[in-house]
Amino acid sequence: MKKCAAAKKCGACSSLQIPYEEQLIRKQEYVQGLFLKQDVQMTKGMKDPYHYRHKIYASFYQDRYHHMHAGLYEENSHKHIDSSACLIQHVKANQILKTICDTADRMRIGAYIEDRRTGILRHAYIRVSSFNGDILLVIVIGSKELPGSKHFVSEITKKHPEIKTVILNYNHEQTSMILGRRDKVLYGRGYITDQIDGISFRISSRSFYQINPVQTEVLYKTALELADLKEDETVLDGCCGIGTISLLAARKAKHVTGVEISPEAIRDAKYNAAYNGIENVSFYAKDITSFLKNNRTAFDTVILDPPRSGMGESAMYSIRSMAPKKIVYVSCNPETQAEDLKILKKEYRIKTIIPVDMFPFTRHVECVVLMSNK
């Protein structure tokens, strides 16, 4: 096991000193506690659980000597911790964070101080493609502009040619949100591409895309194996994001309908479908609850992959009324997943529950549940 100097203060990797096999058992037991009358399979883990995060957020701050650092907040506080040597963040992302800080020091660009609303650099968001190593970098500022932005970007991209696009994001608001409402592409096309099981996906700064590419393939393969789609079946992919599950499912099903509240994500989903030559899909930029209430189409299979808050009662009642043959529910929060599925217990039976470890060394776990209509 590796050791992290900031582990006790950070709190993000609460299981860092627990043997990995034991972590997998604990996550299985956690899910089993939520589904007491069901058999939960062993958690699907990783061969190498370090540096798995291909999506990284960091906040900038300066020490008493005015040196720039990029880091996370200490658990239950607003104190910063340098994360440029983090054991779960992608190694290249850690290196880029260090370069940004060094460049800012040389150019005398200060960190944004939220309480005073002064300074410039606020956050960095980095996305690394596991397919080709391309990197998307978003620099978030709290000021009106980034002084010497061309030189700043040139210095970083020279040292890290893997960075294929740099986006400047403006966030002047007092908020815990990382990204502000306005973007400006400083370098490149504004997006990168990645692949899952041979299908290419465009990733922009606001795209939802899983953080762990190795386990993403495991997660989606598990979900689609449980769905056991046939070529004459129709599928609803609720909360479809940029169309990852939708396009993978379309290779097996007759037609897939993807629904996602984010217009930017649906734009990427449509692009991804066209780029991959997949025509038996339709995408709608709508709230899933309102879509289900107004839906008059019958679906053989429903696949759900909502945010941590879950689907909610209204959406689950609408799905129950729709009466699909199978429901595959993928969740990053098994607690809200278990609550949602209680609404279906009279008409559906749980057939399979499989936890997938997308977040080694943390308490979090993804969970895939297959339900069939009684």
Q: 146 — phi, psi (to 5°)?
A: -105, 110
| Integer-rounded Cα radius of gyration of the chain | 22
CA distance 367 to 73: 27
Coil, helix or strand for 45? coil
Contact 33, 115 (CB under 8 A): no
Residue 26: how many other CB atoms lie within 10 Å: 15
Alpha carbons within 13 A on the beta-carbon side of 341: 30
d(CA 197, CA 105): 42
86 is catalytic: no
- 8 A C-beta contact, residue 235 and residue 299: yes
Catalytic residue among 13, 239, 332, 367: 332
Q: CA 72, 74, 78, 80: dihedral to nearest 10 degrees?
A: -50
> Exposed, middle or buried, 18 (CB in 10 Å: 0-12/13-18/19+)?
middle
Strands 326-331 and 301-304, by their bridges, are parallel
Q: What angle do CA 16, 41, 337 make, to 5 degrees?
A: 80
Could you tell me the two tokens for 8? Answer: 């006790």
Q: What are phi and psi of 282, to 5 degrees?
A: -135, 140
Q: Residues with catalytic annotation?
A: 332
